[in-house]
Structure 1
Amino acid sequence: MNYPPRVLTIAGSAAGGSAGIQADLKTFQELDVYGMSVVTALVAKHPETGKNVHMQTQEAIEAQFATANKQVGIEAIKLGMLFSKEVIECVADLIADSGDTLVVDPVMIGKMNSKLLADDAIDALKKELIPDASIITPNMPEASVLLNGRNLENVDDLRQAAVDLHKLGPANVLVKGGRLAGDAVDVLYDGKRITTFSVPRIDTEHTSGAGCTYSAAITAYIAKGYSVVEAVHAAKSFVTTAIAYGFSYTDTVGPTYHAGVRKHGEAHTVKVSN
C-alpha cells in the first residue's frame, strides 16, 4: 500500500474552524496528505476578559512535536501562527536539521484584526526560521513588516519585495497580492526567476482562512512531489475555488470552503507568466 505523504502544521488553533490548524487539516485532507498538528496557541475571544490569544506551554509544544515525529514521521512542515519569540526559538530548535520541506507563513494579523505575532518576535522569525524555509508566503502587510514598513501598492512593488525578501535566505518567496486592485496576482521568486500567478478577483468578504489554506495547499503539493512553481499554481487554484464558494453562518466574515474543488470543480483557471 502506498501511504500518503506525512505533513505537519505548527500553528494556532482557530476555534471558529475557518483558519489556523483547522484550515490546514481540512486542506491536507482534501489534497490526500496525512495531516498532523502542533498547536502553539488557542485563538478564541473570552466573552468576559476579552483575551483572544491563549498560549500553549513550551512543554506542550515539544510533546506534540515529539509525538508526531516519533510515532508517525514527517516529510513536510508548515509553520503558521507562532506568536512569540520564545515559541519561535522553541520551534526552530525542534525542526533544526530535519531536512524536511519547510513552508513558512509569517502570520501576523488575523482576519478580524487580532494581533497574532508579538513585536519582539519579528526579528526572531527573520533570523531563526525564514532562512531555512523552502518557501515563505507573506501577504502584502506581512511583506511590508518584514521589509521594515515598506509601502506596497502594485505588482511591481510585489516583484521587488519578493527579490528583497529572498535576501533573508529562503529558497523561494511568494508575495501574495490579495489586497491589490484588479486581478488577484501573486509573485514568486526563486533567486533567479520571477513567476506571477493571477486569477480574476472574486467579489466576496468570506475569505477567513484563505492565507492558511493557500500555504497549507502549497505544503501538501510539495510533499506530493510537485515543484515549487507547480505547487503554487495548484494551490492558488485550490484556494481560489475555496474563496469562490465561501459562505457565512452569521453576519460576520465567513470561511473559505475547503471542499470547493471536490464539490464544484475549479472556479477559475490560474494564469501563469514570467
Structure 2
Amino acid sequence: MSRPPVALTIAGSDPSGGAGIQADLKTFSALGAFGTSVITALTAQSTVGVTGVHVVPPEFVAQQLDTLVADVRIDAVKIGMLADAAVAAAVGRFLEAHRPPIVVLDPVMVATSGDRLLADDAVEAVRALLPLASVITPNLGEAAVLLDGPVAGDVDEMLAQAAALRGLGAERVLLKGGHLDDVTAVDVLAEPTGSTLLKAPRIPTRNTHGTGCTLSSALAALRPQRDTWLDTARDAKAWLTEALRHADELQIGHGHGPVHHFHALWTH
C-alpha cells in the first residue's frame, strides 16, 4: 500500500471548526491526504463572527515548522491566516530555506463574517510571499488589496487582475469570483501557459464559512494526486461545490455555517 501524500497547513485556528486549521485538516482527510499543521494564531471565533485574535510569536511558528520538517516529509503546503508581518516573514524564511514542492498561498485577510484577520502592515509581507508560491488563491477583495486597486466587476477584469498578480511574482493564480454572479461561480486559473475559466453552479446557501480555506486546502491535497494544476483546480472546485450543496444538512451555529467537508463519506 503506497503512502498517502502529506499536506501541511500553516494557518490560524477556528474553534467553530468551519475555517482555518480545522477546515484544512478536514479537507485533507476527505481528499486522501495525511494532514499536519502549524498554528499561526488562535482566534475567538464562531459562525457569527470573530471576537479576538491571539497571534503566535513568530519564533514559535518557526520552531513548529523546523521541528516538523526535521522529521516528516511534506509533499504540499497550504498557507492561510498569517495575522501579522512578523509571522508572514517567518513563514517566508521557512519557504526559502526548505522550498516545498507544492505551495498553495491563500492570502486570508477577512473572515466570511467580515471581520479582519490580517493586520494592515502585513499586506506587504504577504506580497513578498507571492514568488514563493506555486499558486495563490485570492478572492476578489483580496486581489484588490494585493494590487492596491478596485475590485473586479466582471470576468474580463478578473482575467486582467489575475495576470497582474502573476506580474507581482505569483507563478499561478486561482482568482475566485464566487460573489460575482448569482447563477454561476466563475474562477480564473492563470498559469504561465495561459488562463482558463472554471465554472460551477452557484449554490444558494448562507453556509459558506471557510470556503476559501477549504478550496486552497483541496488544491494542496489533490495536486500530488493529479497530473496538472488544471486537473487539480477542476476537481477541487467540483468537490467544494458539492460541499456547499450539502452544507445546510449540518445546521451548525446561528451565522454563516460551515461547508460539509465529509459530504461524500457520511451516510446519515
More divergent stretch after superposition (148-157 vs 12-21): 148-157
- Please report how far the alpha carbon of residue 170 of structure 1 lies from its aligned counterpart in structure 2 after TM superposition: 1.6
Distance 1:163 1:25 in 2: 31
SS at match of 2:10: strand
* Partner amino acid, structure 2, of 1:251: H
In the TM superposition, residue 95 of structure 1 has moved relative to its aligned partner by 1.9
2:252 corresponds to which of 230, 240, 249:
249
* Cα contact 2:95–2:132 (8 A) shared by 1: no
Aligned residue in 2 for 1:145: 145
Segment of structure 1 superposing worse, 52-61 or 134-143: 52-61
Q: CA deviation at 1:167?
A: 0.5
Q: Deviations over 1:9-43 (max 9, x none)?
A: 00000111000000000000011111100000011
Q: Which structure has the higher relative contact order (CA within 8 Å, separation 6+)? A: 2
Secondary structure of residue in 2 paired with 1:169 = coil
Amino acid at match of 1:54: H
Q: Which amino acid aligns with 1:22?
A: Q
Q: 1:228: which partner in 2? A: 229
State the number of aligned residues.
Answer: 260
Q: Does 1:159 align with 2:198?
A: no
Q: TM-score, normalization: structure 1?
A: 0.91
Aligned to 1:194: 195
CA RMSD between the two structures = 1.6
Distance 1:60 1:217 in 2: 27
CA contact under 8 A between 2:143 and 2:175: conserved in structure 1? yes
Q: Which deviates the most, 50-59 or 98-107?
A: 50-59
Distance in 2 (CA, whole Å) between partners of 1:45 and 1:22 is 12
Deviations 1:228-262 (A, max 9, x none): 10110000011111111113333211000001233
SS at match of 1:195: strand
**Local SS of the residue matching 2:207:** coil
Q: For residue 216 of structure 1, what is the aligned residue in structure 2? A: 217
- Per-residue CA distance 1:124-150 (angstroms, 9 max, x = gap): 1112x1111100000010011111032
Contact 2:29 2:35 in 1 (8 A): yes
Match of 2:264 in 1: 261
Structure 2 equivalent of residue 75 of structure 1: 75
CA distance in structure 2 between the aligned counterparts of 1:45 and 1:236, rounded to whole angstroms: 26
8 Å Cα contact 1:238-1:261 kept in structure 2: no
Secondary structure class of the residue paired with 1:72? coil
Q: 1:52 & 1:113 partners in 2: Cα distance? A: 13
Judge conservation of contact 1:245–1:260 (CA < 8 Å) in 2: yes
What's the CA shift string for 1:30-84, capped at 9, x where partnerless?
Answer: 11111100000011159xxx85111112232122212321221212111000010
Any idea what SS the aligned residue of 1:71 has?
coil
In the other structure, the counterpart of 1:270 is: none
Query: 1:133 maps to which residue?
Result: 133
- Is 1:136–1:173's contact at 8 Å kept on the other side of the alignment? yes
Asked if 2 retains the 8 angstrom alpha-carbon contact of 1:52 and 1:114, the reply is no
Describe the superposition over 1:94-126 as per-residue Cα deviations: whole angstroms up to 9, x where unpaired. Answer: 121423211100000001112111111111111
Once residues 179 and 132 of structure 1 are traced to their aligned partners in structure 2, the CA distance between those partners, rounded to angstroms, is 28
- Taking the aligned partners of 1:8 and 1:64, their CA distance within structure 2 comes to 12
Name the counterpart of 2:5.
5
In 2 relative to 1, CA 118–63 (structure 1 residues): closer, same or farther, beyond 3 Å? same
- The aligned counterpart of 1:32 is 32
Taking the aligned partners of 1:7 and 1:154, their CA distance within structure 2 comes to 34
Q: Deviations over 1:143-190 (max 9, x none)?
A: 111110323111111111111111011211110001112300000111
| Paired AA for residue 255 in structure 1 | P
Q: Which stretch has the larger CA shift, 96-105 or 107-116?
A: 96-105
